[in-house]
């Protein structure tokens, strides 16, 4: 192809668009603005395992042998690593205390909380005079010094321990018993009321969580199963928080593909009403990528999310929910090519990038002791409960991480390239492209006479040849390759690609733009 640049050209782009230092003398929260520009690169961490010191490498933290689980203070040591990988926000899974009665796992699920206004003592480092809140505040401050915003998680339910303490907070069934939502046997469903009348007791409990979060200096709140509470509940809480910090991000775990309540005893609030109530963003449905067979399913989802602001009447955005702590590790689902595809989709789509601790090095989250009887437990469960292929949130387990260093380098490159894409979407346009094979997706982002072209193969078993239609494309134009293994054949108005199973290709095309 005439004018095809060598791979070294990527270095020029990434150098020019490298992430600037975010270190400031005084941290100013602008996470909400960044999120609405799709510039957040979010990394989800479980502090209990984030920097756990599993010295004997048996996968479990043996406190009796001097090993240390993850905590607020030792987590600081990994912040430079996150910054080097291009991360500018962390989403911390729940930091509130967990229940010990009717528990799952030897440490208890992070989502079976027993208090809204205190911190999980499991996250406290005992080798310091600092209080636990001071330790938490220090971790957040250290993150801020590195330009990393902090999002904390508020669960939808309470532990059985909390039910015994405050039964008035919970939904009861027809027999007066607390409701177990779906199959979450270790929690009971909180009663937030209805659109007509919210439950003030539950509202006040959530308000104390918001107060604590703001006191610690957090920049955003992610809400677990947000659709299980009425929109008016969230509107009142978000309005309350915004009086203290207008930039506090509110992210709803909700999707346009979810239609049902978690229990017949609770409300169901669809995603659009949650966004209208004040949430800045939601999960969207990108976790369905593993099930999509046709490329148009992906591009249709993107177009849907690009119309959120128009439909809601205010700026809104989504995260690249391709992988979350509720999802199987991508390498378990479709191998390392699936992980690479997720990296570059997060980098090139108009979404906020979203990853889970261990994703970047290909952790399969396989724990050999899972569901076996434990030598020691800190709850009433004597077994190591775990979800195979998902990051552990139930036990004092090892630090997440795989051994795929090449995948980690790819992760860094994709995150760095996202900075260029954020500038392209600022005034640019997203264009789905016609392809000859339905399993292929292709889209173009154009601005100021230049474009980024992305092509991918959703067939993870077979090589696919496809023609991509590029209206008015001239093969004489310069094409800079960003990510590809099989060079394309370009002709007037089209490009022919040969895609390996699950392969994604990314190109920057100079002097070419679709209006």
Mean confidence (pLDDT) of the chain: 93
Band of pLDDT at residue 492, cut at 50, 70 and 90 = confident
**What's residue 13's pLDDT?**
53
Question: Which tens digit of pLDDT belongs to each residue from 254-275?
Answer: 999 999 999 999 999 999 999 9
**What's residue 349's pLDDT?**
98
Band of pLDDT at residue 299, cut at 50, 70 and 90 = very high
- The residue with greater pLDDT, 478 or 4, is 478
Question: Which tens digit of pLDDT belongs to each residue from 99-141?
Answer: 999 999 999 999 999 999 999 999 999 999 999 999 999 999 9
**What's residue 515's pLDDT?**
83
| Structure tokens belonging to residue 31 | 């996470």
Q: Is the pLDDT of residue 10 over 70?
A: no
Q: Is the pLDDT of residue 167 over 60?
A: yes
Name which of 461, 456, 457, 453 is nearest 494 in CA terms: 453
Question: Which tens digit of pLDDT belongs to each residue from 198-232?
Answer: 999 999 999 999 999 999 999 999 999 999 999 99
| Structure tokens belonging to residue 234 | 């969230």
What b-and-e string marks burial along 31-57, b requiring 16 or more CB atoms within 10 Å of the CB? bbebbbbbbbbbbbbbbbbbbbebeee
Q: Sheet with 464-469: list strands edge to edge.
A: 464-469, 494-499, 489-491
d(Cα 309, Cα 192) in Å, to the nearest integer? 27
pLDDT (mean) for 79-90: 98
Q: How far is CA 385 from CA 106, 367, 372, 482, 485, in A?
A: 7, 10, 8, 42, 41
Q: What percent of the chain has pLDDT over 90?
A: 89
Q: Is the pLDDT of residue 3 over 50?
A: no
Q: Say if strands 440-447 and 429-432 run parallel, antiparallel, or are unpaired.
A: antiparallel
Q: Is the pLDDT of residue 395 over 90?
A: yes
Q: Is the pLDDT of residue 67 over 70?
A: yes
Least confident of 68-82, 326-340, 449-463, 479-493: 479-493
Least confident of 351-365, 443-457, 487-501: 487-501
In 3-state terms, the chain is what percent helix, strand and coil (to 5)?
A: 30, 20, 50
End-to-end CA distance of the chain: 24
d(Cα 397, Cα 384) in Å, to the nearest integer? 10
Question: Which tens digit of pLDDT belongs to each residue from 330-355?
Answer: 999 999 999 999 999 999 999 999 99
3-class secondary-structure state, position 55:
coil
Least confident of 48-57, 308-317, 381-390, 479-488: 479-488
**Taking a C-beta distance cutoff of 8 angstroms, is the pair 391, 110 a contact?**
no
User: Which domains are seen in the chain, by residue range?
Assistant: 1-20+292-313+335-352+407-515 (2.60.40.1180), 38-284+366-399 (3.20.20.80)
Q: Is the pLDDT of residue 98 over 90?
A: yes
Contact partners, residue 25, CB within 8 Å, separation at least 6: none
């Amino acid at each position: 192809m005439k004018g095809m640049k060598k791979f070294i050209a990527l270095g020029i782009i990434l150098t020019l668009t490298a992430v600037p230092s975010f270190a400031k003398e005084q941290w100013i929260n602008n996470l909400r603005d960044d999120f609405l520009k799709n510039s957040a690169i979010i990394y989800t961490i479980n502090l209990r395992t984030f920097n756990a010191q599993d010295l004997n490498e048996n996968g479990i933290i043996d406190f009796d042998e001097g090993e240390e689980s993850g905590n607020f203070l030792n987590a600081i040591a990994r912040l430079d690593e996150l910054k080097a990988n291009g991360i500018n926000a962390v989403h911390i899974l729940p930091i509130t205390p967990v229940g010990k009665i009717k528990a799952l796992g030897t440490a208890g699920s992070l989502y079976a909380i027993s208090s809204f206004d205190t911190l999980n003592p499991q996250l406290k480092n005992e080798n310091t005079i600092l209080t636990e809140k001071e330790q938490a505040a220090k971790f957040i401050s250290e993150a801020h010094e590195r330009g990393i915003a902090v999002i904390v998680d508020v669960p939808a339910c309470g532990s059985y321990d909390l039910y015994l303490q405050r039964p008035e907070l919970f939904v009861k069934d027809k027999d007066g018993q607390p409701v177990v939502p779906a199959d979450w046997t270790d929690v009971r469903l909180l009663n937030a009321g209805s659109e007509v009348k919210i439950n003030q007791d539950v509202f006040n409990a959530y308000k104390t969580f918001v107060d604590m979060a703001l006191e610690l200096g957090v920049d955003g709140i992610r809400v677990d199963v947000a659709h299980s509470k009425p929109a008016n509940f969230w509107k009142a809480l978000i309005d309350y928080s915004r009086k203290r910090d207008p930039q506090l991000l509110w992210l709803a775990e909700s999707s346009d593909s979810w239609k049902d309540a978690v229990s017949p005893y609770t409300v169901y609030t669809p995603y659009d009403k949650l966004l209208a109530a004040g949430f800045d963003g939601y999960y969207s449905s990108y976790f369905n990528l593993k099930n999509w067979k046709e490329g148009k399913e992906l591009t249709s989802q993107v177009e849907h999310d690009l119309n959120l602001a128009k439909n809601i009447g205010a700026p809104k955005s989504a995260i690249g929910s391709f992988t979350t702590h509720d999802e199987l590790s991508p390498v378990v689902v479709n191998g390392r090519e699936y992980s690479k595809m997720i990296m570059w989709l997060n980098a090139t789509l108009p979404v906020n990038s979203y990853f889970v601790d261990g994703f970047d090095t290909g952790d399969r989250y396989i724990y050999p002791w899972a569901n076996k009887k434990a030598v020691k437990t800190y709850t009433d469960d004597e077994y190591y409960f775990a979800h195979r292929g998902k990051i552990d949130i139930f036990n004092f387990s090892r630090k997440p991480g795989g051994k795929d260093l090449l995948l980690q380098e790819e992760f860094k490159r994709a995150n760095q390239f996202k900075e260029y894409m954020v500038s392209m979407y600022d005034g640019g346009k997203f264009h789905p492209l016609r392809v000859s094979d339905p399993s292929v997706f292709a889209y173009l982002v154009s601005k100021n006479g230049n474009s980024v072209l992305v092509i991918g193969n959703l067939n993870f078993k077979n090589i696919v040849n496809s023609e991509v239609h590029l209206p008015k494309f001239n093969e004489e134009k310069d094409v800079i390759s960003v990510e590809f293994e099989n060079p394309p054949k370009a002709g007037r108005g089209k490009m022919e690609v040969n895609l390996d199973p699950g392969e994604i290709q990314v190109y920057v095309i100079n002097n070419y733009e679709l209006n």
